[in-house]
Amino acid sequence: MAEEKWDEKIKVYVPEYAIKLIPNFIKNREKDIKNIEDSLKKEDFEIIERIGHSMKGSGAIYGFDRLSEVGKLLEESAKNKNLGEIKNNLEELKNYMGRIEILHE
């Protein structure tokens, strides 16, 4: 598997039915990132687990498969109360969200 370059755009193909929903979806993910950061400071694993679970379920619906994968990792890391993994997953999430390029099918 080729190593991913962390500065290249990630093309996300969004289904036509969902294109109008994407700006709000992205805004909510930005709020999730802030909430995860705040929850990390308080070591509130329950909130992080809930956010991860939500991302896991909603990402693929809109064409954001990697978001679903990172959500699953966040959920599992929070269940295990593993701060290091949560921080790594959060960094991956921020990087991913900063690199996406929305295209519609």
- Structural domains present in the chain: 10-104 (1.20.120.160)
Residue 18 class from Cβ within 10 Å (0-12 exposed, 13-18 middle, 19+ buried)? middle
pLDDT band at 26 (very low <50, low <70, confident <90, very high): very high
Which of 75, 79, 73 is closest to 51 using CA atoms?
Answer: 75
Residue 70: pLDDT over 60: yes
**SS3 state at 4:** coil
User: Span 57-74, mean pLDDT?
Assistant: 93
Q: What is the pLDDT of residue 1?
A: 39
The pTM of the full predicted model, rounded to 2 decimals, is 0.88
The residue that leads in pLDDT, 7 or 44, is 44
Tell me how far CA of residue 41 lies from CA of 21, 57, 102, in angstroms: 31, 25, 32
